[in-house]
Amino acid sequence: MEERHLDNDFEEDGLRNGPRRKVLLVFAKEDSQSNGFSWACEKANFRCTVARTPESALECYLDKHHDIVVIDHRHSRYFDAEALCRSIRAVSFSENTVIVAVVKRPEREEASVMPLIAAGFSRRYVENANVMTCYNELIQLEHGEVRAQFKLRACNAIFAALEQSQEAIEITSEDQVIQYVNPAYESIMGYQKGELMGKEVMEVPKSEKNKPDLLESINSCIRKGKEWQGIYYGKKKNGDSVQQSVKITPVIGQGGKIRHYVSINRPLNDNNKTDKSSDRVQAESQTDNQSCKHKDRRKGSLDVRSTTSRGSDGSSQRRHSSMARIHSMTIEAPITKVINIINAAQESSPMPVAEALDRVLEILRTTELYSPQLGTKEEDPHTNDLVGGLMTDGLRRLSGNEYMFAAKHPHHLPGHLSTPLSLNDIPPQIAQTMENEESWDFDIFNLEAATMKRPLTYLGLKVFSRFGVCEFLNCTEATLRSWLQVIEANYHSSNSYHNSCHAADVLHATAYFLCKERVKQSLDPIDEVAALIAATVHDVDHPGRTNSFLCNAGSELAILYNDTAVLESHHAALAFQITIRDDKCNIFKNMERNEYRTMRQAIIDMVLATEMTKHFEHVNKFVNSINKPLAALEENGGNGEEESVKSILTSPENRILVKRMLIKCADISNPCRPLELCIEWAGRISEEYFAQTDEEKRQGLPVVMPVFDRNTCSIPKSQISFIDYFITDMFDAWDAFADLPNLMQHLDNNFKYWKGLDERKLHTLRPPPE
């Protein structure tokens, strides 16, 4: 990263007063165009920084908050300019930054700028290395968009000052419709902001103590563009009059006309509070304002308790009386509060805003708040079928034909198993395959082959030993070995995907994530042990069929669990049943009661989190409760940041979210594995889905995922849809938290691999031999 600037931070050429503009140039290589902008910055006396990679560019931007960012969009082989622009726009303060894309000179017809605008660019610059052309571009930006952004930025400071002012401030439009009042106004006059917004000044009750012609003389003065100052009696909401020193200033705006009036009122004494009830109104008003101070008051932050009791017509009053009863209830869900606030906000909103809020309310009242809405099946049948198969509990079948699953598979008991082996007795060839088990690129399939399809027991012994699980649980290694064996015996080796190799793979990913610094900062030892156990048991006794299939078939499990999280409930329940059934494998037998209950709850919660119907809920909660607050702290910096980070990471609620996200990512991490492993897993899951479709057709059941027909399915398309819909956003969030560049690189490589096959119209796992 290079930085070019002069010593003085302030302009000396008379262009403007104040700090010099900061420009960030992002060019992978130095060329005439990057030099043109560098020299233009020197000529314009702008502080200029040059970054060569997206990573260094983002780091520099976060540090210096540039006014202008110029990104080279001409060479996609170096970096993705649009992705970098989106990354910058994801930062909260970037709304005041002007971002320019340098594009190639069009050879034929002019290209649309819409993709650039969609990515977040402010404007396009067609390549021209002439220094004067670059200079003119920067100066035009400086005198246009940059200054406009500075004014907008200043507005935030102005409104902050208004909010803190001890004087009552009222702003009206040219037609004297009230547009804003500050907290001091609310406190002094006893009104809530929402009761005044949108009303004409003349509609607000006036005090009889003013002279009859005073209002007329005030209006006559200010309409001429002159400021009025004098003594005026205002009428409070409770009917009392308050004597004020008032200054009203007309504000000239577009077209040289008066566009606003600003009134600043200061009470002349404190003898206006005549009764306790008015005191209480004001005290409540002040308290409410303090509690809402983090909101953007320009949008009219409203207090529901006050807004729900007012109304100008009968229907409004009826609505408010109903709302008042709701507010008197002692139990109120957060979503109810949100809906009530929006209802109240509609009262003072213009018609287009009120209509938009109606649509918002419509969405909020649906049950699936966290699930994206897909288009029609024709748009993306693969995604649609994956969602149908993984995120629903199936269609109800009306015939009496039931899929008898539970009776077919008696559960293995410890007595049926071979003698447990010791960690020290692991055969050398198996030990050798596990030498690099701490690496993300560890090949689980080599271990599966070396252990004759018993990878979970062997990997479990090594991983649990590394994390000191026996010591934590106060159990012997023999008990742990017996437990691992009985759990593995209850996985179905006949399943092509959901077998003990998948469980071992998820255990490996879980152990890998637990070693990441952020995760270690967040979780306690009991969380780590719970995560390893949950990963080990999370798919135990999986029948190789989806929840939708079991519900449609009317299986005993679906009936037992009321068609809700059928498999996940079964995995968790069975894991505890077979663990505590026999002391020889009861790893929990020596735990203290309360600690066991905490452990059990954590394991159940994590296993249930692998159910896909709540996928987006888990991801969104993680992003909103953890990623965004951490990002805000990193942006702001300052004292106490370390303590604030710690409080975010270690709060009980957030630790639960971290554990859920961890096991979810471990469970579906196949697309983030090295390519050969990714291909093998894709083949296995496809075969399991093909087998389900075959059975659905044989039994006359609804076909849950029609695209997974072994004769017609495009495996590359199914992988692309899965990555696009489920994987990308989740792993972006997890990577932002845990720092996993190697996984993201594999994900990128694998996605390109599947895309390449799909572009060649291939349906197979691999291209045909040359």
Positions annotated as catalytic residues are: 498
Q: How far is CA 131 from CA 36, 134, 136, 259, 604, in A?
A: 5, 5, 9, 42, 65
Residue 75 known to bind ligand: no
Nearest to 650, CA basis, from 743, 527, 769, 759:
527
Q: Is 255 left (phi over 0), alpha (psi -120 to 50) or beta?
A: left
Residue type, position 540, single letter: V
| Distance of alpha carbon 252 from alpha carbon 254, whole angstroms | 7
| Distance of alpha carbon 599 from alpha carbon 533, whole angstroms | 10
Nearest to 192, CA basis, from 341, 353, 360, 361:
341
| Dihedral angle of Cα 185, 190, 195, 201, to the nearest 10 degrees | -60
450, 433 Cβ separation under 8 angstroms: yes
Nearest to 443, CA basis, from 664, 673, 687, 740:
673
658, 651 Cβ separation under 8 angstroms: no
CA 325 and chain centroid, separation = 34
Q: Where are the beta strands (DSSP E) in 236-274?
A: 241-252, 258-267
Residue 539 known to bind ligand: yes
Residue 647 known to bind ligand: no
DSSP code at position 302: -
Residue 500 known to bind ligand: yes
* H or E element in which residue 102 lies: strand 98-103
Residue 327 known to bind ligand: no
Nearest to 215, CA basis, from 225, 230, 226:
230
Longest Cα separation, the chain: 104
| Distance of alpha carbon 222 from alpha carbon 200, whole angstroms | 16
Residue 538 known to bind ligand: yes
| Distance of alpha carbon 302 from alpha carbon 345, whole angstroms | 7
Residue holding tokens 């507005």? 155
Q: Where are the beta strands (DSSP E) in 131-174?
A: 168-173
| Distance of alpha carbon 651 from alpha carbon 655, whole angstroms | 6
Cβ neighbours of 267 (radius 10 Å):
17
Six token digits for residue 71: 């990104």
Residue 291 known to bind ligand: no
Residue 358 known to bind ligand: no
520, 514 Cβ separation under 8 angstroms: yes
| Distance of alpha carbon 453 from alpha carbon 361, whole angstroms | 53
* H or E element in which residue 234 lies: strand 228-235
| Dihedral angle of Cα 574, 690, 447, 435, to the nearest 10 degrees | -90
Q: Is 13 exposed, middle or buried (0-12, 13-18, 19+ CB in 10 A)?
A: exposed
Residue 667 known to bind ligand: yes
CA 296 and chain centroid, separation = 21
DSSP code at position 372: P
State whether residue 50 is helix, strand or coil. strand
Residue 715: partners with Cβ closer than 8 Å, 6 or more residues away: 682, 683, 686, 763, 764, 765
H, E, C per residue of 676-717: HHHHHHHHHHHHHHHHHHHHHHHHCCCCCCCCCCCCCCCHHH
Report the binding-site residues for Zn(2+). Answer: 502, 538-539, 667
| Binding site feature residues for AMP | 498-502, 539, 667, 719
